[in-house]
Amino acid sequence: MDIDLSNPAHYGLALLPEIVLSVWAMFLLLLDVFQKGARSRPSSSALPWLTLIGILLAAGANVLLMTFEETGTGGMIAIDGFRVFVNFVFLLAAALFVLISTRYLDEANLRLGELYVLVLFATVGMMSFAGARDLMVMFIALELMSLPVYVLTGLNRRDARSAEGALKYFLLGAFSSAFFLFGIALTYGGAGSTNLEQIGAAVGVDGLAASSLLVVATALLAVGFGFKVAAVPFHMWTPDAYEGAPSPVTAFMAAGIKAAAFAGFLRVFQTAFQGLYDTWDAIAIWLAVLTMVTANLIALVQGNVKRMLAYSSIAHAGYLLVALAAASELGAASLLFYVTTYTLMTMGAFAVVMVVARHGEERLDLDAYIGLGWRRPLLATTMTIFLLSLAGFPFTGGFIGKVFILRAAVEKGLVLLAVVLVLASLVSYFYYLRVAWYMWFRDPLEADDATAPAALAPAMTIALVIAAVGTIALGILPHYVLAWAEDSAAGLLQLPAGLVGAGR
C-alpha cells in the first residue's frame, strides 16, 4: 500500500503500531480505575495478560507496516525496514517485562495497574523515537519514553535506594534533554530545518557545506545521546538507578531503553550527519574506548550481582558504539543484530537475579549463587547461557554479534578500536565466569537454605525459556536475523533525496 506523508490523513496508517499501543494503554488505565472503584485494592491479576494482548496487537500492526511503501518525501516519520525491525525489539522487551514481573510485583505489594500502562507508553515513546525523521518529533518521543521510566524507577516508595535512583535518573535525564534540545536549536540554525533528510542535504556528501553551528550541534546531540545510552563519562546515573529500581524495571531499562537510544543515535548520525563523519567519528571512537575500558574494570570489583550487571550494560553500550563508529551498512546491521540478542540475554540475566534475590532484593551478593546449579538446575543453566553470551562465548548470540561488530570496525579501518573491544571482552570473562563458578563449583552445603531462591512462576519460566532459546538460536542459526538486519540497515543508509552533490 502506498503512503504519502504529504497527506496528513496518511499519518494514521504510518503510526499504526504506536496508535494501537496508545489506545490499548488508555483502555487498560480506564479498566483498572473502574475495577478498583472507590476502594483502594490491588489491580486485577488479568491485567498483565491483557497487556500482552495489546503488545501482540501492536506487533500485528507492525507486520502490516511492512506492506506499506512511502511515495512522498519529507515526512516526519519513517516507513522503512529499520523502524519495523527495532519496533519488534521494543515489543519483545515489553513482553518479557510483563512475563518476568507478575510474581515479583505480587510479592512486593506493587500490583499497580498504572505500572503496565507506563510500560506501554514508554514503549510507544521508544518506537516513535527510533522511527522519527524529524528532530522535534524525536525530542517529544524522547520525553514520552523517559518520563514513564523515571516514575517506574521510583515505583517502590518504601525503598530509599529506589527513590535515590529515580531522583538521579530524573535530574541527569533532564540535563541530557537540555543538551539534546540545544543541539536541535543549533542544527536548525545551521541547516534551516529539523528534518533529518533536509539536514543531510544541507551538510552535503563531504561536509563542506556545513557551518560551524552544525559542528557544535553534532557535539551537543552526541552528549544528549551519550547520556541516554549510558556511555562513559555520561553514565553516572546508571549504577544507582539500575540498583535502586525494581528488578523488572531495571531489565526493561537496560534492554529496551538502551536499544531505543541507539536506534535513534544511528538514525540521526547516519542520515542527517553522514557528511560530517570525519567530525563525529572521533567522538564515537573515544566514547567507545572509555566506555568499554572503564565499565569493565569497575565491574571486576563488584560483589553485588545486580550492580555488576549494571556496569556490564554500560560496557555493552561501548560495544554498540563501535558499530556506530563504523558508520557503514554492516555496522548498522551488526548494531541491529546485537540489540536483539542483547535484549534477550540482559532481560534473562536480570530475571534470574530477581528470582535469586526474592522480592526484598536483599540477596544480591555472590554468596546467594553458591551451589545454585545443584539446587535449582534450570535457573542456573539459563543464567549460565546468559552469562556466556554476555561474555561473547561461541555458539551464543553475543558471540555472533561481537564478531560482526569487529568485522564492521576492521572493514572501516578501525583496527585499534577492534583490538580494544577484544581486550575489554576478555576482561569481562572474569566477572561473568565468577558468577558461573559460584553456581556450579561451590559446595551447595555452604548455601543458606533459609533464603533459597523463590519458586519459578509459570510466566517467569516461559520468559527464561524464550530468552535462553533465543540466545542460543541466534548463536547457532544467526543467518535469518542477520539477513533481515542487513536489509533493514540498507534502507537507512541510502542517501536522502537531494543529498548527492549538495556539498560540492
pLDDT tens digit string along 458-471?
Answer: 889 999 999 999 99
Does residue 501 belong to any structural domain of this protein? no
* Per-residue pLDDT tens over the stretch 165-195: 888 888 888 888 999 999 999 999 888 888 8
Angle at the Cα of 53 (from 50 to 59), degrees rounded to 5? 150
Contact 296, 262 (CB under 8 A): no
Does residue 68 belong to any structural domain of this protein? yes
Does residue 425 belong to any structural domain of this protein? yes
Does residue 499 belong to any structural domain of this protein? no
Q: Three-state DSSP class for 195?
A: strand
CA distance 234 to 238: 9
Per the structure, how many domains does the chain have?
A: 1
* Per-residue pLDDT tens over the stretch 92-146: 999 999 999 887 777 767 667 788 999 999 999 999 999 999 999 999 999 999 9
Distance of CA 119 to the CA centre of its chain: 13
Does residue 66 belong to any structural domain of this protein? yes
The phi and psi torsions of 2 (rounded to 5 degrees) equal -85, 135
Does residue 497 belong to any structural domain of this protein? no
Q: 275 to each of 210, 215, 253, 283, 354, how far by Cα in Å?
A: 9, 11, 32, 15, 45
Grid cell 563519562 in the structure block, residue: 233
Does residue 380 belong to any structural domain of this protein? yes
- A 10 A CB-CB count for 172 gives 17
CA distance 243 to 74: 42
Does residue 500 belong to any structural domain of this protein? no
Distance of CA 225 to the CA centre of its chain: 12
pLDDT values of the chain reduced to their tens digit, one per residue, 504 residues = 777 676 777 778 888 999 999 999 999 998 888 876 656 666 677 888 999 999 999 999 999 988 877 776 667 888 888 999 999 999 999 999 999 988 777 776 766 778 899 999 999 999 999 999 999 999 999 999 999 999 888 887 777 777 888 888 888 888 889 999 999 999 998 888 888 888 888 887 666 556 788 889 999 999 999 999 989 888 888 888 888 888 889 999 999 999 999 999 999 998 888 888 888 888 999 999 999 999 999 999 888 898 899 999 999 999 999 999 998 889 999 999 999 999 999 999 999 998 888 766 677 788 888 888 888 888 999 999 999 999 999 999 999 999 999 999 999 999 999 999 999 999 999 999 999 999 888 877 666 655 566 677 888 999 999 999 999 999 999 999 999 999 988 877 654 444 333 332
Of 305, 312, 368, 372, whose CA–CA distance to 345 is shortest?
312
Listed in sequence order, the DSSP H helices in 6-109 are 11-14, 16-36, 47-65, 81-107
| Residue 14 lies in domain | 2-492
**pTM across the whole model:** 0.91
User: Residue 478 carries which side chain, given as an amino acid letter?
Assistant: P
First to last CA, the chain: 36
Q: 56 to each of 62, 88, 115, 161, 465, how far by Cα in Å?
A: 10, 10, 18, 34, 19
Write the Ramachandran bin of 77: left for phi over 0, alpha for psi from -120 to 50, otherwise beta: beta
